[in-house]
Amino acid sequence: MFKRKAKKPKEATYREVWQHGDLATKLSFFIMGFAQLKNKQWVKGLSFLITEVVFLIWMVFSGVSALSMLTTLGTIKHKQVVFDKTQGVYITKMPDNSVVILLFGVLAVILVIAMIGLYVANLRSVRHLYALKRDGEHVPTNGEDLASLLDKKLYGTLLAIPIAGVVAFTILPTVYMISMAFTNYDSKHPIGFSWTGFAAFKNVLSGDLAGTFFPVLGWTLVWAICATATTFFFGVLLAMLIESKGIKHKGFWRTIFVIVYAVPQFISLLMMAQFLDLQGPLNTLLLNWGWIAHPINFISASANPMVARITVIIVNMWIGVPVSMLVSTAIIQNLPQDQIEAARIDGANAFQIFRSVTFPQILFVMAPALIQQFIGNINNFNVIFLLTGGYPMNNNYNGAGDTDLLVTWLYNLVFGQTQRYNASAVLGILIFIISATVSLIAYRRTNAFKEG
């Protein structure tokens, strides 16, 4: 990209700044914003200074204690029931609330890291000022500084609020959850818990949950592959069908299919579950027509696991195909026609053209989106939770059923009977590792494919 050329003074080293800088510069190493203030950069200087003061006050009053509590997650681990004579009732003295301690500890760590970043920024700014003055360059004024926020530093201005949001609502919770995996936070230690290292990982990978984890993991991967592949492939076929010559009112046909996708899933899937029930309308209909002798057990708790899994994939197509049909339509309409024409002149039939020209082109455009979809399907909570609730039951599993994905099992571990929060955090981390590995491999492959 074309960049505006700005004459950049040669930067100094910090050592030089420290040795040759004036008093204000030296002080800036301890009191942020000093050098800027001296150079009349009031806004910059004051923001540095005030931030540091606020940070130090927070450190003294709560930061230090938050960080030190983080090591133990609270000292009182057990409740005590005492009789309160004045009220004439029993009172329970609670253990320290580790959840809150952990959360604020993580927050404190993040704040300290942010402060270190700011300190580095301050040093850079001091060094830059020093170099400017050393070389007799123009030192930016307040106004210029502020103006640059809308020009060269626009990225900072526009990103400030989103980054704050991401830190508060994504990074902080994620770090918190990762740390939860290393504790004994479960139904036995619901309020006061402690660090237990990799014990929870051991439970999942070789302990009482291993017999559930590996089969569920296997099904999760199978599901993600099948769900992604079927919706994509049939979506393309449907798009080709609607786009084919002679079909009128293309928009109308597309809309019919899109309606299914647009209906909120928690209604369409919940009702689909009834639709497919043993005594549901579909079975009733098929029985009345005499197509089947006994009702088919599609997805109930006592269904055959294989039948249920196939049903889930088919119902997912019902929801997913319209979307990929829409997207494929857009791609098909923009496909370069020359190759297709060339193939046609060579005497290829429609099927051959589709197989060797159209489909690869669509695949090429869609590859990144397909990887995204695959990750999305690994974490496809809605379809499983609302349609089958993890059923059919499996007597070899612990707290999961035959169609449960890792993510719905994670949900059950948190909100179900057993409340194993730490195990659910472990699952979350493992899901992340799986998703990351898969996408890394896939992106590499597609890049090679694109370059090759």
Partner 1 sequence: MKSYTAQRRLSLILRYILLVILAIVWIFPIVWIVLASFSYNDTGFVSTIIPNKFTLQNYIGIFTSKQFPFVNWILNTTFVSVVSATLSTLVTICVAYVLSRLRFRMRKPFLQIALVLGMFPGFMSMIALYYILKSFNMLNLFGLILVYVGGAGLGFYVAKGFFDTIPTAIDEAAEMDGATQWQTFIHIGLPMSRPIIVYTALMAFIGPWIDFIFSGIILSSSGNAKSYTIAYGLYNMVHATKGTSTMYFTQFIAGCVIIAIPITVLFVIMQKFYVNGITAGADKG
Partner 2 sequence: MKLIKKIALGSSAVIAMTLLAACGKSSSSSDTSSKKVSGDVKLWVDTTQVSYYKTIVKNFNKKYPDVNVKVTQSPNGSANAKTDVGKDPAKAADVFEVPNDQLGSMADQGYINPLSPDATKTVKSDNVATSVKGVTWKNQMYGYPFAEQAQTLYYNKSKLSAEDVKSWDTLTSKATLATDFTNAYNFYPIFFSAGTNLYGKNGETLKGTNVANQKGINALTWLAQQKSNKNVMQTSNTLNQLKSGNAAATIDGPWNTANIKKILGKNFGVAKYPTIKVGGKNVQMKAFLGIEAFAVNSHTPTKDQKAASTLAQFITNKQSQLIVYKQSGQIPVDKSAQKSSTVANDKAAQAIMTMAKPENSVLMPKMSQMATFWNLSAPLLNGSYTGSIKASDYSAKLKTFQDAISKKN
Site for partner 2 in 274-333 (CB under 8 A): 274, 277-279, 300-302
Residue 347 tokens, joined: 């005497």
- If one asks whether residue 110 binds partner 1 (CB under 8 A), the answer comes out as no
User: Helices 265-275 and 281-289 sit at what angle, rounded to 10 degrees?
Assistant: 40
158 binds, among partner 2, partner 1, none (CB under 5 to 8 A by kind): partner 1
Write down the least CB distance from residue 19 to partner 1, Å: 27
- If one asks whether residue 6 binds partner 2 (CB under 8 A), the answer comes out as no
Which residue is associated with the tokens 């914003």?
33
- If one asks whether residue 372 binds partner 1 (CB under 8 A), the answer comes out as yes
* Binding residue for partner 1, selected from 66, 115, 200, 272, defined by CB under 8 A: 272
Q: Segment 279-318, which members bind partner 1 (CB under 8 A)?
A: 279-281, 284-285, 318
Measured CA to CA, the distance from residue 268 to residue 64 in angstroms comes to: 51
- Among 24, 172, 193, CA closest to 103: 172
- If one asks whether residue 415 binds partner 2 (CB under 8 A), the answer comes out as yes
Write down the least CB distance from residue 171 to partner 2, Å: 22
* Binding residue for partner 1, selected from 69, 312, 353, 431, defined by CB under 8 A: 431
Q: Segment 375-404, which members bind partner 2 (CB under 8 A)?
A: 385, 388-391, 393-395, 397-399, 401
Query: Residue 199 phi/psi, 5° resolution?
Result: -55, -40
Measured CA to CA, the distance from residue 77 to residue 277 in angstroms comes to: 48
Contact in structure between 278 and 256 (CB atoms under 8 Å):
no
Measured CA to CA, the distance from residue 190 to residue 184 in angstroms comes to: 9
* Binding residue for partner 1, selected from 50, 54, 100, 113, defined by CB under 8 A: 100
Contact in structure between 57 and 46 (CB atoms under 8 Å):
no
Residue by residue, DSSP assigns 118-141 as HHHHHHHHHHHHHHHHHTTPPPP-
- Radius of gyration from C-alpha coordinates of the chain: 31
Q: Segment 145-204, which members bind partner 2 (CB under 8 A)?
A: 187-188, 190-191
CB nearer partner 2, residue 71 or residue 417: 417
Q: What is the enclosing helix (H) or strand (E) of 359?
A: helix 359-378
Q: Taking the CA of residue 148 as centre, how many other CA atoms within 13 Å lie in the half-sphere pointing to its CB?
A: 9
Q: Segment 241-270, which members bind partner 2 (CB under 8 A)?
A: 270
188 binds, among partner 2, partner 1, none (CB under 5 to 8 A by kind): partner 2
Measured CA to CA, the distance from residue 205 to residue 396 in angstroms comes to: 16
* Binding residue for partner 1, selected from 120, 146, 166, 441, defined by CB under 8 A: 166
CB nearer partner 1, residue 91 or residue 150: 150
Residue by residue, DSSP assigns 317-349 as HHHHHHHHHHHHHHHHHTS-HHHHHHHHHTT--
- If one asks whether residue 201 binds partner 1 (CB under 8 A), the answer comes out as no
- If one asks whether residue 421 binds partner 1 (CB under 8 A), the answer comes out as yes
CB nearer partner 2, residue 55 or residue 391: 391
- If one asks whether residue 27 binds partner 2 (CB under 8 A), the answer comes out as no
- If one asks whether residue 81 binds partner 2 (CB under 8 A), the answer comes out as yes
What DSSP state is assigned to residue 95?
Answer: P
Interface with partner 2 (CB under 8 A), residue total 43
Give the contact letters, 83-112, x = binds to partner 2 (CB under 8 A), - = no: xx--xxxxxx-xx-----------------
